[in-house]
Structure formats: structure tokens, C-alpha cells
Structure 1
Amino acid sequence: MTSAAAKNVDARKPAIYLVVGAVLALGSMLLGGLASGEPTGPAQAPQAGGAPTAPAPACTEAVRESLRPQGPLPAPGAMPAGSTMAVIADRGRLIAGVDQGKFLAGYRDPLTGNLSGSDIDIVRRIAAAIFGDPERVQYVVLNIADRAAALERDQVDVVVNSFTVTCARQRVVEFSAPYMPASQRLLVPVDSGIREVEDLAGRTVCTSRGSTTEIVLRNLGLQVESLTGIPDCVLELQRGRVAAVSSDDVILAGLAAQDPNTRVVGRALDTSRYAVGMRPDEPDLVRFVNGVLEAARADGSLAASNRHWYTGRLDPVPPPPPPVYRD
């Protein structure tokens, strides 16, 4: 795993990590599939005569169901013979694709040098279920556009990187049941008087160019400035050139935590859900991860993680969504 798109990270290695760097890394995840380069569907293959095949039907709605866990989880260190989990156990480490620049979700703690956040908590749970040791992880820092590709190339076992379930991604990725909902909301200055999207009448809201967030805002008839990424929008907000920034509330919460002069407001303008991404040809791992998430919902640890990271930064802190299975 030495490509430019993916970098192995030792979670115990200290690193200089500036808050500005965290903010810059945050914005890239908001670019939609077309803007980020993530796959939006199978490529058109030429037919025998050189003519392209008919394009695949357009995605309209993501499938909400995942694969049901099969019985109780095996004991750590006793993975079923021949299973994907046994292969991971024999290797001695779980390989997880993550980010290190999404504050509160997946970021490198500047004090400890360790990776931390709500996404990292999920990775550690999966490792603990396989090995009995949450530290048995090889973290691979992925560019946002390379999350699905890293799975296709078998560079990682799982991707836990605020990975939104979409119809296009489901063509190449098998997702777990969701572990966190996300809502499109607003980031505004604390003294702006803006509470809801209606308060933006005659004012400009900024978001990342090409994102689904931009489409939602324009459909509401708002005056929208679209820039390369959310960090550019934050700079415009700080300069007073836009009245608000719109994105996933989880990302906005990280930004607000870094800038106490801002806060997250408003009702949900759109909703999505984050889930663990895996290879479609490893359904046993998908079922196993769903079993891990089921256990975390049942014992309250999944909700406790959300509260730990987002209390005082998101109001309300979203509870884990209930799973829906297709078999």
C-alpha cells in the first residue's frame, strides 16, 4: 500500500497537526461523486462493432437494507475457518481506510499523535471483535475520491470515513447498516441572527461546488456561492462575504468546535447516513460488521460515542439509526 492515493499511518507516531490543516481536509468530503471523481456507475463498454452499450439506468435512491448478521458473534480470536475475518486474523491486523483531517470524526490528535474521533471508534470496535484488541489496526489515510477504489483494489478491509451511502456507490461498495445519520444544516456566526434557512432571504449561502448540498440549496431558491470546498466557504464566512455555510452537520460541528464564533443552526434540509464500506464479494465480513454494530447499539456504546464527540457541538446529538436488513 504505497500508492499516492493511500498512505499507511502508525496511529502511535506523533505528528505535527495544525488546526488549519484539519479545516482544509474537512472540506473535500463534501464534493459529490462527479466532483470528487468517485464512481457514478459502470463505464460504458464498447460492443463488438465499436458502438457503446446503453448507459446504465440512472440511480434514483440508495438501497437502505444491508446484510443481516448471522447468529451471535464468534469469540475474538476464534473466527470461522475460511472466513474473511479469519484471513484478517491470520494477517494480525485489520486494515482500515480512514481520514485524519475531519475534526471529531476522524482526525489526528495534536496532543497525542493518535487518530481519534467517532469513525475511529468504529474501527477500534471491529478490531476488538476480531482480535480482542482494538489496537490491532493498520490505518490507511485515503483521499476522499479513493475510498471506493481502495476497496476495489483490495488495499483495505473496511472504509470508515464518513462514507455516505449513495445509489452510485452501492454499485461498487457493500455498505453496513448505518452507524450515524447526517443532516444538511447551516454554519453561521453566533451573532448573525440566522436560525433557519428562511433567514437567508436576500443573503448568500456558500457550499462546495458540484455537491448534492448545492442542488438542495438552489432548489430552495437561495442565493448560492459554490466554491471548490468547504474551507473556502469558511474563509468567505469569516470575511463577511457570505452569511452562512451549508454542509453535513457532523462536518459543521467540527468547524464550529474550532471556531467558537460560529455555530450550527437550522432544521435538516436534507438527510444522509454514514456506514462502513466493504467489498461486495465479502458478504461474511459485512454480516460480521453489522453484528459488531448491533452489539454496540444494544450495549449503548455506539450512542455513547456519538455523545462523547458531539455533545455541545450538535443539538441534538443524533442517535444511531436502526438497522434495516434485506435477508
Structure 2
Amino acid sequence: MKSHAAALLLVLLAAGCGSAPPPPPAVSVDPVTVQPQEAHGVTAAPPATSAECDREASLPPGPLPPAGAMPPGSTMAAIARRGLLVVGVDQNTYRFGFRDPTTGRIEGFDIDVAREIARAIFGDPDRIDLRVVDARDRETALISGQVDVVVRTYSITCERKRSVDFSTVYFVADQRILAPRGTRIDTADDLSGRRVCAVTGTTSLSNLFAMSPRPAVLAVTTWTDCLVMLQQNQVDAISTDDAVLAGLAEQDPTVEIVGPSLAVEPYGIGVGKHHEDLVRFVNGVLERMRLDGTWDRLYDRWLSRLGPSPGPPTARYEGT
């Protein structure tokens, strides 16, 4: 009986080994185009920019007090009591404000400029609290008091000066175009009918929307989102400040910066209204950086790929 059962088992196993398994059921999945979060087409004009002011003029500085001895009752004294300078920054703009993947630290030209302000208040550049702020939230962060200053490739415009104050200009960029090598995109006219990416809340977005003929403008949260969309052929070009585009081009050798300047973008440090003493103090720090070589040193460290240092922008003060 046992031998008969064993023989039957061998027959069944042999039959099983010789038969092919049934094919898996067919599954059909339509391809899905994945875009960065909050990516959207811009169909309404961003807030108009005003040209009714001298946008680059700021308050003249007074003598800088010694570090650790801020004037009683001043905004700087309040910051000193807190123990940290709170700064709104970026973490996605290579060379200006970016998170180093090896250290996790936010670094860049803007970050080191902010550290010079902390050094002037405390005598220690590390007494600083870096808070990441989206481009569209810069004014809100200053008005609400979430940050003391914003140092974040922050173009000075007359419209923005109605809401917040600015330092003197510490860097000047030109809006240009980033496109894949070999494409027939060289000028603003070549953007007509093309898909162009920019970041929400930036002057670059407003400048693109104002073009005639207008490209198809797509807005995202960060410039690295724009680069991802360009790499995935979801847009044809990116347009913003050449300093920002240079950082993107370093991350992707298949793209290049093309065309002449579309607009001049002077960067300033944002300060909340009703803190004129802090504006004057920051301007004093920037003036010292111009004179003692600190600006050139920071340029050489972070921005030398843009070319030889042009030297710091000349400060322009109100009433002079």
C-alpha cells in the first residue's frame, strides 16, 4: 500500500514538473507625468511692479558699534538679548543658499553675508538661526516678525519696498535663459510659444508674463524643481537670474545659459518696516565688507565660476 502511494506521488510530481505555470494576468497602466508639487501654469498676471522710486537707494549707515555692545533700546540690542540672529534663507539655490548633502548644513554666498551680520552683533558668526523661507513668503516672514532679516537672492523692487525695507545692493544679477544645449533658444523671442519655468513670487515670473509674445509660463516652488521639469522635458527653458542659472548649470552639464540680459536684478537684504536702525546697521556691515575685502573673499569662495570678481556694487544712499 505504501509503495503504491509513493508511486502515485512520483507520477503527480512528474506531471507537475512538465506542465507550464499559467501566465500572469495582463495589467495595463497608463503612463503618468509626475510634476513637482504645486507646479502650475500661470494664467493671470502677477502683481505689477512699480517704478516710482529709486529702488537701489537705502538709508546711510552710522558708525558700527563694537560687537557685543549694541546701543540700548535698539533692534540690535533686542537681537543680542535673544542670543541669535534669525535669518530667512534659501536651501535650493546652489552657491547662494543650499544644503550641503555631505554635512546637512545650509551654506553659500548669502549665508556667509548673513553670518557677517551676526558677527557684527555678537562677535560670533555662528550665533545665527537659519530659517528656510520660500520666495513667495519673504515679505510675510518679515512683516510677521518670524525673521529679523531675509538674505535670499532678494531682488529689490519698488513694489516690495512698500511692504518691507531693504539694505543697499550687495549683488547685481541679470535675468537670462537656461536651455538644453543644441536647442534653438537664444533670445527672448525664441521663448514665444515655448514652456518656460520660474518660481512663484519672483520678479523673473513677472518679467516672463509681461513678454510679448508671451511664452507658456509654469510656476513652481524652487529652482531645482524647474531643473527637474527641464530634465523631464516638461518645460523647454528656465529663466531667472544668471547667478541662479549658473548654479543649475553646474548640476547638469547638458544645459547652458543663453541670450542677453532680460532684466537687471539688484539683490538687497530685506528688513521689516519700523526697524530703521537695523537697516542702517546692516548697511554699515555691508560697507565694511566692501572696504575690507570680505565681499571679494566671499565671491571668490562661492561665485568664482561666474567669472572674475566684478567687485562689490557701489552703495547708493538716500539723500545723497
Superimposed CA distance per residue, residues 69-90 of structure 1 (whole angstroms, 9 cap, x where no aligned partner):
113x111111122211111112
Match of 1:178 among 160, 163, 169: 169
Superposed counterparts of 1:95-244, under 5 Å: 95-192=86-183, 195-197=186-188, 200=190, 204=194, 206-208=196-198, 212-213=203-204, 216-217=207-208, 221=212, 224-229=215-220, 233-235=226-228, 237-239=230-232, 243-244=236-237
- TM-score in terms of structure 1 length: 0.74
- Which amino acid letter does the alignment assign opposite residue 128 of structure 1? R
Work out the CA distance in 2 between the residues paired with 1:317 and 1:224: 33
CA distance in 2, matches of 1:91, 1:232: 35
Contact 1:85–1:285 under 8 Å retained in 2: yes
1:181 touches 1:318 (CA, 8 Å); kept in 2? no
Does residue 261 in structure 1 map to residue 254 in structure 2? Answer: yes
- Measure, in 1, the Cα distance between the counterparts of 2:210 and 2:163: 29
Measure the CA separation in 1 of the matches of 2:256 and 2:179.
Answer: 6
Corresponding position: 1:70 with 2:70: no
Task: Tell me whether 1:279 sits opposite 2:272 in the alignment.
Answer: yes
Q: 1:234 to 1:66 in 2, by over 3 A?
A: same
Q: Which residue of 1 aligns with 2:286?
A: 293
2:301 aligns with 308
Equivalent position of 1:89 in the other structure:
80
Give the secondary structure class of the aligned counterpart of 1:284: helix
Contact 2:176 2:260 in 1 (8 A): yes
Larger radius of gyration: 2
Check whether the contact 1:205–1:223 (CA below 8 A) recurs between aligned residues. Answer: no
2:97 and 2:152 in contact (8 A); partners too = yes
Residue by residue over 1:249-272, the C-alpha shift from the partner in whole angstroms, topping out at 9 and shown as x without a partner, is 122112111111112232211111
Conserved? CA contact 1:97–1:159, under 8 Å: yes
Please list every run of at least 4 consecutive aligned residues from structure 1 whose deviation after the TM superposition is greater than 6 angstroms: none
What does residue 9 of structure 1 align with? none
Instruction: Rate the CA distance shift 1:202–1:94 in 2: closer, same or farther, 3 A.
Output: closer
1:209 shift after superposition: 8.0
Cα pair 1:160 1:275 within 8 Å, conserved = yes
The amino acid across from 2:247 in the alignment is G
Q: Secondary structure at the match of 2:197?
A: strand
Rounded Cα–Cα distance in structure 2 between residues aligned with 1:152 and 1:268 = 32
Task: Give the TM-score taking structure 2 as reference length.
Answer: 0.75
Give the secondary-structure state (helix, strand or coil) at the position aligned to 2:58. Answer: coil
Structure 1: distance between partners of 2:183 and 2:45? 33
CA contact (8 A) 1:148 1:173 kept: yes
Aligned CA distance change for structure 1 residues 196 and 300 (closer, same or farther; 3 Å): farther
Deviations 1:98-143 (A, max 9, x none): 1222221111111111110111011100000111100001122223
Moved more, 289-298 or 255-264: 255-264
Number of the residue aligned with 1:320: 312
Cα deviation, 1:43-86, whole Å, max 9, x if unaligned, reads xxxxxxxxxxxxxxx83344321000113x11111112221111
Deviates more, 1:173-182 or 1:265-274: 265-274
8 Å Cα contact 2:198-2:219 kept in structure 1: yes
Q: Give RMSD over aligned pairs.
A: 3.1
Indicate how the Cα distance of structure 1 residues 114 and 231 shifts in structure 2: closer, same or farther if over 3 A, else same: closer
Q: Secondary structure at the match of 1:255?
A: helix
Deviation of 1:244 (Å)? 3.2
Query: Could you tell me how far apart the structure 1 residues matched to 2:197 and 2:318 are?
Result: 35
Identity rate of aligned residues, in percent?
42
1:172, distance to aligned residue in structure 2 (A): 1.5
Q: What code does the residue aligned with 1:276 have?
A: I
Count of residue correspondences:
277
Alignment partner, residue 14 of structure 2: none
Structure 2 letter corresponding to 1:66: S
Q: State the Cα distance separating 1:197 from its structure 2 match.
A: 4.5
Task: Note the C-alpha offset of 1:228.
Answer: 2.2
SS at match of 1:162: coil
